[in-house]
Amino acid sequence: MAQVQVKKLDSRAILPTHGSPDAAGYDLYACLDADVTVWQHHTEMIHTGLAVALPEGTFGAVFARSGLAAKEGLRPANCVGVVDSDYRGELMVALHNDSPVARVVKHGERVAQLVLLPYLPMAFDEVDTLPETARGAGGFGSTGK
């Protein structure tokens, strides 16, 4: 199990929780002074009141909570947020409202989920040609429906 250091930047902040022992995502909670209205087709920055120190070689992926997205139309504006392991600022969720009506976010409401993922560092080598594959340059939809 990975150890993640977490600091409350606000005494009212709620530490991330997960809904079941095998849940991949840990819920992030809104830490608000007042309700925030997310107008239809707009985005609002939602505070969590937390900062984290993620293990080196990992990043935090901020995903939508499936129920919130499906039932309320609220999801992270960038679809998947990336929290780098060297970031020490407050975790914020840019929450976008895809629904046709305004939605209200209250203090303590679960607004997204954080998944810890490993990554591989990359080095880029500029070349004149790339190895051939059966797919080649076939792009969007080229392998079927």
Q: What is the dihedral of CA 128, 133, 137, 141, to 10 degrees?
A: -160
Residue 124 in any domain: the answer is no
Q: Alpha helix (H) ranges present in the chain? A: 66-67
φ, ψ of residue 8 in degrees (nearest 5): -80, 120
Residue 31 in any domain: the answer is yes
CB 18 within 8 A of CB 25: yes
Residue 129 in any domain: the answer is no
Structural domains in the chain (count) = 1
The domain that contains 17 carries what CATH number? 2.70.40.10
Residue 18 in any domain: the answer is yes
Split at pLDDT 50, 70, 90, the class of 39 is very high
Residue 51 belongs to what domain range?
5-118
What pLDDT shows up at residue 124?
A: 97
Residue 135 in any domain: the answer is no
Angle at 17 between CA 7 and CA 48, to 5 degrees: 45
pTM higher than 0.95: no
Residue 22 in any domain: the answer is yes
Residue 17 in any domain: the answer is yes
Residue 123 in any domain: the answer is no
- 51-102: pLDDT as tens digits: 999 999 999 999 999 999 999 999 999 999 999 999 999 999 999 999 999 9
- 16-28: pLDDT as tens digits: 999 899 999 999 9
